[in-house]
Chains A and B, each alone.
Chain A
Amino acid sequence: MTEGLRTEEFQVNMGPHHPSTHGVCRFILTMDGEVIVRAEPVIGYLHRSLEKICENRTYAQCIPVMDRFEYCTSMCCNEVFALAVEKLAGIEVPEYAEYLRVIMMELNRIASHMIWYGTTALDLGAITPFLYSFREREDILDMFEMTCGQRLTYNYIRIGGVSKDIPPEFIPKCKEFLATIDHKIDDYERMLTENPIFMVRNKGVGTLSPEMAIAYGVSGPSLRASGIKYDLRRDDPYSIYNRFKFDIPVCHNGDCYDRYIIRIKEMRESAKIVRQALEQLPNAEVNTGKMVKANFKPAKGEVYSRIENSRGEMGVYIQSTGDTKKPLRVKMRGGSYNQLQVMPELVKGVKIADVVAIMASLDIIMPEVDR
């Protein structure tokens, strides 16, 4: 090496229109050759000021806005807002409606994980799993469509209950789906779990230590993959989750592969919950709850409600003045934000191709980050 020549770091812009960034996230990667020295996420491309929009809507009108908060699990978004207002105003939700809510949320979780499964494989170069998972997801969306009329933005779970009863054909269709879902997930596993390429790309990549996970506020499957058994459905039960028996899968390595395993297992657990809910569904009284009216004004106060979403803890903070029909302040918390935050730590020292694998395994979805 001669005196005058030296290498220098350079910057690579990844995104915002990179297919692996799941929306429009942009990374400014500082590279030393092939190796990443620093990564800086640039966010805000999907900012729609949902919090401010909610502050200018009546409580009932916020629900369809929440649909857009995290569109892979709109049912959970509906639920978290409804839950907050119900807590604030002391509204009782009928048992029947609670069961419908749980069924919908768990089906939605499965659908969300299916998107993740398909896109992760796609990001790593495998197209087939994507087609498989979206085939089953379609069944779930059909069920949502027949219930509430939409396939993505449901506007189904309302303050005080759910908007409509399930149609008669829902239960047979759901039972048929549940009967085959385990075999379908077996299929998924056969394609990826032991696939040598997949394993090489994922094992030992992006290891997230439990300490770092807690420090960055990572939650949900990504946290459980690091060995911490924490699930709001069990640890801070909301709705009627304490009535169901289900396991909380935990892995210990905290790498991309473990995060994959966790999500596959979670799909099975969710199916288990739906099965139990369908069995327990009270047939005697069909009461979907009394929805709040347009001039609904909850008492003065503030409330924070949180639920376990497929991407970690999702929460909504609402402040009410008590004399207006609109919330004074709405703050949303999404799991993806914290997972994006930890990304620069995880990608330090890895190759650029691994960024894609890490990002896919964390299951970041940009609307939830940008709001």
Chain B
Amino acid sequence: MFDFVKTVLIALPKGFYTTFKHLFKKPVTLQYPKEKMPMAPRYRGLHYLEKYEDGSERCVCCGLCASACPADAIYMEPAENEKGERYSEVYEINLLRCIYCGFCEEACPEEAIFLGHEYEFSNDSRDAFIYTKGQMLANRPTKEKPFKKIIRKVRRIF
């Protein structure tokens, strides 16, 4: 009998009180996809390639991102442009392999590749997940992601 009083008359109302009191609170849920969560500036989403102010590509196809990648997701082929500069003729990321660890971003000596805030890129074919250089350049956000706080200990000559 005492147990009945303790459980049904005390414990259960206690629990119901806890839940009922939230009826009068603002819900914490978001109506996705109408509403979206604000992203932290450091969020690691879909990649993009950065450009210089004059519109030329920053990427020189040095291959450090590909060698830093623990998932072997990056494939690139360098080539020489008419100015004699090295650039990436092919730059592909297999988004199905990518584990979004951000090593490519950290390895890049030219500050060319970044992980942006895009996270809605589902698709229904595997081929669509081979993310090409053109797409990566086009995906560049209008507002720049603040550059990493890498203190450039090294001087550039150019």
Q: Do residues B40 and A149 form an inter-chain contact, with CB atoms below 8 A?
A: yes
Tell me how many residues of B have a C-beta within 8 Å of chain A: 28
Interface residues of B in 96-138 (CB under 8 A from A): 99-103, 106, 115
Query: What CA separation (Å) do A294 and B8 show in the bound complex?
Result: 62
Task: Let me know if A199 and B43 touch, CB within 8 A.
Answer: no
B15 at the interface (CB under 8 A from A): yes
Asked if A150 is at the interface of the complex by the 8 Å CB criterion, the answer is yes
Q: B2 CB to closest chain A CB, in angstroms?
A: 13
- Asked whether A194 and B14 contact (CB < 8 A) given A57-B70, A128-B19, A199-B7, the answer is yes
Partner of B14, one of A62, A135, A190: A190
Chain B contacts for A150, CB-based, 8 A: 43-44, 100, 102
Task: Find chain B residues with CB under 8 A from A147 CB.
Answer: 42
**Residues on A with beta carbons closer than 8 Å to the beta carbon of B106:** 163
Q: How far is the CB of B46 from chain A (nearest CB, A)?
A: 13
Chain B residues with Cβ under 8 A from A145's Cβ?
Answer: 39-40, 42-43
Interface contact B70-A153, CB-CB below 8 Å? no
B68 touches A294 (CB 8 A): yes
- Given A64-B101, A153-B101, A146 and B42 touching (CB < 8 A)? yes
Verify if B18 is at the interface (C-beta below 8 Å from A): yes
- Pick the residue among B8, B100, B102 that contacts A196 (CB under 8 A): B8
For A146, the chain B residues whose CB sits under 8 A away are 40-42
Task: State A68–B71 Cα separation when bound (angstroms).
Answer: 13
Do A187 and B10 touch across chains, with their CB atoms under 8 A apart? no
Which chain A residue lies CB-closest to B15? A191
Which of B6, B12, B19, B67 has the most A CB atoms < 10 Å from its CB?
A: B19
Which residues of the partner chain A approach B67 to less than 8 Å between Cβ atoms? 294
Q: Is B28 an interface residue (CB 8 A)?
A: yes
Interface of A is mostly: helix
Can you list, as one digit per residue, whether each of A168-203 has a CB less than 8 Å from chain B (1) or not (0)? 000000000000000000010011101110010000
Tell me the smallest distance from the CB of B13 to a CB of chain A, in Å.
10
How would residues 123 to 154 of chain A score, 1 for a CB under 8 Å from any chain B CB and 0 otherwise?
Answer: 00000100000010010001001111110010
Q: A195, B15: Cβ atoms under 8 Å?
A: yes
With both chains docked as a complex, state the minimum distance between the C-beta of B66 and any C-beta of chain A, in angstroms: 12
For residue A199, which residues in chain B have a CB less than 8 angstroms away from its CB? 7
Task: Mark out the residues of chain A between 64 and 91 whose CB falls within 8 Å of any chain B CB in the assembled complex.
Answer: 64-65, 67-68
Q: CA–CA, A206 to B101, complex, Å? A: 40
User: Across the interface, which residues of A come within 8 angstroms of B19, CB to CB?
Assistant: 128, 191
Nearest chain A residue, comparing its CB with the CB of B11: A194
Q: Chain A: which residue is nearest B107 at the CB level?
A: A294
Q: Which residue of the partner chain, among A63, A155, A164, A196, contacts B12 with CB atoms under 8 Å?
A: A196
Whether A167 is near chain B, meaning CB under 8 Å from some CB there, is yes
Residues in B with CB closer than 8 Å to A190 are: 14-15, 17-18
Task: Count how many chain A residues have C-beta atoms less than 8 Å from C-beta atoms of the other chain.
Answer: 33
Q: Which of B17, B70, B115 contacts A64 (CB 8 A)?
A: B70
What residues of A have a CB within 8 angstroms of the CB of B99 in the complex?
Answer: 64, 67-68, 153
Closest to A151 in B: B43
Among B54-110, those with CB < 8 Å from A are 67-68, 70, 99-103, 106
**Which A residues are CB-close (under 8 A) to B103?**
60-61, 64, 155
Question: Are A153 and B100 within 8 A (Cβ)?
Answer: yes
Instruction: Given A155-B102, A191-B18, check contact A149 B44 (CB 8 Å).
Output: yes
Chain B residues, Cβ within 8 Å of A163? 106
Q: Mark B1-33, 1 if CB is under 8 A from A, else 0.
A: 000001110111011011100000000100000
A61 partner residues in chain B, CB cutoff 8 A: 68, 70, 103
**Closest residue on chain B to residue A193 by CB atoms:** B11
Q: Which residues of chain A have C-beta atoms less than 8 A from B8's C-beta?
A: 196
Cα(A61)–Cα(B32), bound, Å: 34
Q: Would A149 and B102 count as touching, CB distance under 8 A?
A: yes
B14, A164: Cβ atoms closer than 8 Å: no
Residue of B nearest to A186 (CB): B18
Of chain B, the residue at the smallest CB distance from A139 is B28
Complex alpha-carbon distance, A164 and B70, angstroms = 19
A191 to B12, CA, bound (A): 8
Most chain B beta-carbon neighbours within 10 Å: one of A57, A64, A149, A155: A149
Contact, CB under 8 Å: B43 / A149: yes
Q: Show 7 A/B contacts (Cβ-Cβ < 8 Å), sorted by A.
A: A64-B101, A64-B103, A148-B42, A153-B100, A163-B106, A187-B18, A195-B12
Per CB-CB distance, the 8 closest pairs between chain A and chain B, nearest first, are: A194-B11, A196-B7, A64-B101, A61-B70, A149-B42, A146-B40, A149-B44, A145-B40
**Chain A contact residues, CB within 8 Å of chain B:** 57, 60-65, 67-68, 128, 135, 138, 142, 145-150, 153, 155, 163-164, 167, 187, 190-192, 194-196, 199, 294
